[in-house]
């Protein structure tokens, strides 16, 4: 979906300094990669289908970030997907599950990029700038990380 731009133009990426290659410890990198292996063992699709329930329980206000018109954009429009997004619960939403599958896959790309922070950091900055326009705020991130 196209980001909703606040008055004054496009959202700005955070100017806060992010860690460089030599600051990310081997322990941190290994911990992240181990956690990602657990996601892979469960399967990206299974994890993506579980994530909304956990997120909305920990941060109920995030449900408003996924209105029916946003979820509609991610549907395949097959008979198996059933009724339109506006006629169903967000937690029972094929569109929402596809959004979260994109999140899981993007997380996997970030984990794979941990070996080269000089390339990863600019990509993450662009991604965060785009998502700031969707209404996602920094305080939503801890709940998403769990």
Count how many domains the chain has: 1
Q: Summarize pLDDT for 90-106 with one digit per residue, the tens.
A: 888 999 999 999 999 99
How many angstroms separate the CA atoms of 60 and 55, rounded? Answer: 7
Query: Range of 55's domain?
Result: 26-145
Q: Summarize pLDDT for 6-56 with one digit per residue, the tens.
A: 444 444 444 455 545 456 888 999 999 999 999 999 999 999 999 999 999
Query: In degrees to the nearest 10, what's the CA dihedral of 68, 74, 76, 80?
Result: -50
| Residue 41: CATH number of its domain | 1.10.490.10
Please give the helix or strand (H or E) that residue 59 lies within, else none.
Answer: none
Is residue 95 situated within a structural domain? yes
In this structure, the number of other CB atoms found within 10 A of the CB of residue 48 comes to 21
């Amino acid at each position: 979906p196209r980001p909703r731009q606040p008055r004054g133009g496009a959202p700005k990426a955070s100017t806060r300094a992010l860690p460089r290659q030599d600051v990310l410890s081997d322990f941190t990198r290994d911990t992240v990669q181990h956690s990602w292996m657990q996601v892979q063992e469960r399967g990206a699709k299974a994890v993506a289908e579980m994530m909304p329930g956990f997120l909305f329980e920990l941060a109920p206000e995030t449900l408003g970030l996924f209105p029916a018109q946003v979820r509609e954009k991610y549907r395949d429009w097959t008979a198996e997907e059933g009724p339109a997004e506006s006629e169903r619960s967000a937690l029972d939403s094929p569109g929402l599950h596809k959004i979260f599958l994109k999140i899981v896959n993007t997380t996997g790309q970030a984990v794979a990029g941990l070996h080269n922070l000089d390339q990863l950091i600019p990509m993450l900055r662009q991604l965060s700038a785009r998502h700031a326009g969707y209404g996602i705020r920094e305080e939503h991130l801890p709940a998403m990380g769990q």
